Amino acid sequence: MTENPDPALLHAATALAARLGTDDNHSVAAAARDAKGRVVTGVNVHHFTGGPCAELVVLGAAVAEGAAPLVRIVAVGDRGRGVLPPCGRCRQTLLDLWPEIEVLVPGAGGGVRAVPVRELLPHTYVWAEHQEP
């Protein structure tokens, strides 16, 4: 676990979240860093049918942009809500697709900490074709 890691990644997500305004359809921004240092960003797409979370949008954008393997990701809420931990669906998706990724989550005293996604989803379902047991 790393305390206050990757301020540039956090800034990318925070700056994007600040630009979202008051549009309830887009209220969370995410940023991911790949193994080569590249940062990819995205926002959630809320819809009454569900819609993808910001983290899932970033995963798709990373593939579309030819990013290297993702090593770290963070989500930030609009209107100054700060770093948000990923929902269960995002945790499972991150674990299935990027089992070594670190996730930035709220830390003690208003800080941010990086934790391996495996720690966020203990005793998880294992997608046999993508993960080792």
Catalytic residue among 3, 55, 65, 119: 55
Query: Is 65 in the active site?
Result: no
The pLDDT, as a whole number, for residue 125 is: 78
Q: Residues 54-83: what's their mean pLDDT?
A: 97
The pLDDT, as a whole number, for residue 109 is: 85
What are 77-106's pLDDT values in tens digits? 999 999 999 999 999 999 999 999 999 999
Average pLDDT value for the chain: 92
Burial of 123 (0-12, 13-18, 19+ CB in 10 A): exposed
129: pLDDT confidence band, cut at 50, 70 and 90? low
d(CA 38, CA 14): 17
User: What's the predicted TM-score (pTM) here?
Assistant: 0.90
| Nearest by Cα to 53 from 44, 61, 42, 62 | 44
